[in-house]
Amino acid sequence: MTRMRHRTRAAMIATALTLSLSACGGVQERASTPSATTTTTPPPAASGPQCASLGGDALPELSDKTLSEAAAAMPGTVTYSGFLQANADRAEQLDKARGVSVFIPADPAFTAMDADTAAKLADPAWGLALLEYSVVTQTVLPDALNTTAAELPTVRSQDAQITTAPVNGAPLLNGAAGVLCASIAFDGGVIYLTDKVLLPPG
């Protein structure tokens, strides 16, 4: 039964990506990507319980990559990379952002998502929302994320925030998601791989 549910969700994701590719021109995009707050402090080395298995330890190869290139290069972010490819125009804008933090659901997060989230992602507009909501418009380093509660504005809108609170020395995102691998440096900032799919309210 579990395998059947996983296959069903994987099929729904594949359908969503196909619909996004075919309907890309019809999805309303934000006019621009907000300017991000840059930082001169280099991020610490990538760390986390699943960095090696998800590709986060490939830091030297990712530090000069755009978001799209980094997501395509890591073995654990194939699904997210597919959404970037399905929304190529918006992805090109996101690739130009600097000083950002990107919270990418790892592939197991998509496999484990509940039926409501899977149904939303069957809509191309929600695929776009996933991308915009994953990009925080400032660089957030692990020390701050692990110790300070915050509301982080995203590219989606200033009001579409990711909330974070420290729990036992680790961040909890939107009261539910954990971080599998933190502070993966790429050309535009840092990437965090999460264990759940994060979507904006709505």
- Residue 60 located in a structural domain: yes
Has residue 89 got a pLDDT over 90?
A: yes
Range of the domain at 86: 2-22+43-194
Lowest-pLDDT range of 35-44, 99-108, 186-195: 35-44
pLDDT digit string, tens, across residues 26-64: 223 343 444 444 445 667 777 777 787 776 665 557 889
Transcribe 73-109 into DSSP letters: HSTT-HHHHHHHHHTHHHHHHHHT--SEEEEEEPHHH
Q: CATH number of the domain at 106, please.
A: 2.30.180.10
Domain count along the chain: 1
Query: Do the domain assignments include residue 38?
Result: no
Residue 119 lies in a domain: yes
Whether residue 155 is contained in a domain is answered as yes
Q: How far is CA 102 from the centre of its chain?
A: 5
126 located within any domain:
yes
* Residue 27 belongs to a domain: no
Does residue 141 belong to any structural domain of this protein?
yes
pLDDT digits (tens, 9 = 90+) for 16-25: 453 343 333 3
Within a domain: residue 28? no
pLDDT of 45: 76
pLDDT band with cut points at 50, 70 and 90 for residue 113: very high
